[in-house]
């Protein structure tokens, strides 16, 4: 009475001879393409880069609409950089943070990306490096580029966690809630929280809605770095919450007591960095005025 049947998903969508298309790969493709299309829309919308809010008493808003500090060509070109950063960073992060001893003994399996094993924090680090290198090579404001990418990042995370659920991996802790599930790959065969769905909903969908609300309602893109700060702080806090329902990786367990996990540990620096970015955004002038606004 305290569990529901786990849907029997096939991780492979299509298999024709040597051609194998997995849901896991499609999740990354959907996240990258969806983020790319939204990023193009953002840099093509001048009102997102204007000052906000306007004086309440001013009916005729006389101001010049500044162009975004990025172009559609920048977003198109960065797509490849972002893809490489996500894949390499995500895989390297998983190897280093979650299962280094195993991969030192089985180095060839580092390249078996199709089997799963990607760390969000590693992918984030990979994308940050890509942003810095790309912005410097193009002479654009790296913080503004980071703001755009931070807005769309939760979308990719949402699809990634859905793929984890389809794969029946990264399940939650033992639970007696009515929606608890027994995952086929779980050796203990006990009812657990479907924590992949919790994280898809909170760390992914809800955070994505918050990011869109901040960008479209409060024009946070006007202050370079502010949107980055909101994302880092928001994700760090959300991940800290959902980690309480996720079963720690078997090879790591809890790092401290029966509560601190690797996911929590890696999220703490994100929260600190996010607060710094928000502070910095309000100490520097908005875009189009002076200071950091016009510099890469």
Residue 55 has what pLDDT? 41
Residues 6+ apart with CB under 8 A from 164: 116, 170, 196
pLDDT tens digits, one per residue of 194-247 = 999 999 999 999 999 999 999 999 999 999 999 999 999 999 999 999 999 999
Task: Report the predicted TM-score, pTM, of the whole model to 2 decimal places.
Answer: 0.88
For residue 66, the 8-state DSSP code is P
Is the pLDDT at 57 greater than 60? The verdict is no
Q: Is 93 among the domain residues?
A: yes
Contact (CB, 8 A) for 167 and 12 = no
Residue 63 has what pLDDT? 47
Mean pLDDT, range 83-91, rounded to an integer: 94
The total domain count for the chain is: 1
What count of Cα atoms within 13 Å lies in the side-chain half-sphere of residue 88? 12
Q: Is 5 among the domain residues?
A: no
pLDDT tens digits, one per residue of 8-24 = 888 888 888 888 888 88
Q: Is 248 among the domain residues?
A: yes
Question: What does the alpha-carbon distance between residue 11 and residue 244 come to, in Å, rounded to a whole number?
Answer: 26
User: Could you tell me the pLDDT band of residue 25, with boundaries at 50, 70 and 90?
Assistant: confident
Residues 6+ apart with CB under 8 A from 225: 143, 146, 147, 277, 278, 280, 281, 284
User: Could you tell me the pLDDT band of residue 66, with boundaries at 50, 70 and 90?
Assistant: low
**What is the Cα gyration radius of the chain?**
21
Q: Is 1 among the domain residues?
A: no
Question: What does the alpha-carbon distance between residue 152 and residue 212 come to, in Å, rounded to a whole number?
Answer: 8
Q: Is 16 among the domain residues?
A: no
Q: Is 78 among the domain residues?
A: yes
pLDDT tens digits, one per residue of 123-134 = 999 999 999 999
For residue 201, the 8-state DSSP code is I
What average pLDDT does the chain have? 89
Residues 6+ apart with CB under 8 A from 149: 35, 39, 78, 82, 127, 131
Residue 270 has what pLDDT? 97
Tell me the residue range of the domain where 219 lies: 22-51+67-294
User: Could you tell me the pLDDT band of residue 293, with boundaries at 50, 70 and 90?
Assistant: very low
Number of H helices, E strands in the chain: 9, 2
Q: Is 196 among the domain residues?
A: yes
Q: Is 11 among the domain residues?
A: no
Question: What does the alpha-carbon distance between residue 116 and residue 287 come to, in Å, rounded to a whole number?
Answer: 41
Q: Tokens standing for 219?
A: 């024009």
């Amino acid at each position: 009475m305290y569990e529901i049947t786990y849907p029997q998903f096939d991780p492979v969508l299509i298999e024709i001879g040597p051609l194998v298309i997995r849901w896991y790969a499609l999740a990354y493709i959907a996240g990258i393409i969806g983020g790319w299309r939204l990023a193009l829309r953002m840099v093509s919308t001048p009102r997102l880069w204007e000052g906000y809010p306007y004086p309440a008493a001013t009916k005729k808003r006389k101001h010049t609409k500044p162009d975004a500090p990025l172009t559609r060509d920048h977003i198109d070109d960065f797509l490849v950089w972002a893809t490489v950063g996500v894949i390499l960073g995500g895989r390297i992060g998983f190897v280093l943070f979650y299962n280094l001893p195993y991969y030192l003994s089985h180095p060839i399996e580092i390249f078996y990306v199709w089997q799963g094993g990607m760390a969000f924090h590693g992918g984030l680090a990979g994308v940050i490096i890509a942003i810095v290198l790309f912005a410097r090579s193009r002479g654009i404001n790296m913080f503004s580029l980071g703001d755009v990418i931070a807005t769309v990042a939760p979308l990719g995370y949402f699809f990634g966690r859905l793929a984890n659920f389809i794969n029946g991996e990264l399940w939650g802790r033992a639970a007696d809630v009515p929606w608890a599930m027994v995952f086929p790959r779980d050796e203990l065969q006990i009812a657990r929280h479907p924590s992949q769905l919790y994280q898809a909903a909170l760390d992914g969908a809800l955070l994505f809605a918050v990011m869109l609300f901040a960008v479209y309602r409060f024009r946070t893109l006007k202050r370079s770095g502010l949107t980055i700060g909101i994302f880092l702080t928001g994700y760090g806090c959300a991940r800290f919450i959902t980690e309480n329902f996720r079963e720690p990786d078997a090879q790591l367990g809890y790092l401290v007591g029966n509560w601190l996990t690797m996911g929590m540990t890696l999220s703490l620096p994100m929260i600190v960095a996010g607060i710094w970015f928000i502070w910095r955004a309000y100490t520097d002038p908005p875009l189009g005025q002076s200071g950091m606004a016009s510099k890469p």
